[in-house]
């Protein structure tokens, strides 16, 4: 019985530690860098919801537009994920080296999603092909 109680307590603690704390925020409550990015690259879209996601170690922001496009920002306001399910990522929001590669080798396709982390950029094209670039924008491989 003690073992079951102990496991239940451990499970409850781990669930509460992993639970995110989403809360709606206004555009003005987003980091300044995120506000500037949206004004520069997505000024023609209306924001449906902006929210702050806090967990134990980090704070992130999600901005979802009325048309379904979504941008995720880190706590500094730098974009980490741009997902344009029903359109394409604006060329102005894509690093020029990546954009040039896509226009050269996949000229009839557009980028519908771009994600960056500490090591690389993942780019998803309209035909669902995924490309991986290193942090210096060099093409590395196709992702399965």
pTM value is: 0.83
| pLDDT, tens only, 93-131 | 999 999 999 999 999 999 999 999 989 999 999 999 999
Residue 132: name the closest of 101, 88, 91 by CA. Answer: 101
CA distances from 2 to 7, 10, 11, 25 (A): 9, 12, 14, 43
**CA 51/CA 65 separation, integer angstroms:** 12
Q: Taking residues 46-53, report their average pLDDT.
A: 96
**CA 91/CA 57 separation, integer angstroms:** 32
Residue ranges of domains in the chain, CATH in brackets: 17-87 (3.40.1420.30), 88-144 (3.40.1420.30)
Written as six digits, the tokens of 113 are: 């999603």
> What count of other Cβ atoms lies within 10 Å of the Cβ of residue 84?
24
Q: Is the pLDDT of residue 134 over 90?
A: yes
* Confidence (pLDDT) at 144: 62
How many helices (H) and strands (E) the chain has is answered by 3, 9
| pLDDT, tens only, 79-88 | 999 999 888 9
Written as six digits, the tokens of 36 are: 């500037």
Written as six digits, the tokens of 16 are: 């509460």
* Confidence (pLDDT) at 70: 98
Q: Is the pLDDT of residue 75 over 80?
A: yes
| pLDDT, tens only, 15-41 | 444 455 889 999 999 999 999 999 999
């Amino acid at each position: 019985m003690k073992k079951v109680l102990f496991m239940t307590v451990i499970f409850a603690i781990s669930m509460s530690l992993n639970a995110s704390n989403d809360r709606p925020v206004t555009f003005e409550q987003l980091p300044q860098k995120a506000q500037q990015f949206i004004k520069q690259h997505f000024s023609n879209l209306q924001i449906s919801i902006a929210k702050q996601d806090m967990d134990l170690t980090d704070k992130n922001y999600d901005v979802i537009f009325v048309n379904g496009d979504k941008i995720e920002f880190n706590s500094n306001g730098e974009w980490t994920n741009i997902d344009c399910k029903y359109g394409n990522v604006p060329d102005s929001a894509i690093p020029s080296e990546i954009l040039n590669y896509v226009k050269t080798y996949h000229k009839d396709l557009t980028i519908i999603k771009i994600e960056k982390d500490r090591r690389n950029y993942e780019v998803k094209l309209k035909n669902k092909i995924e490309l991986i670039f290193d942090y210096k924008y060099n093409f590395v491989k196709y992702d399965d």
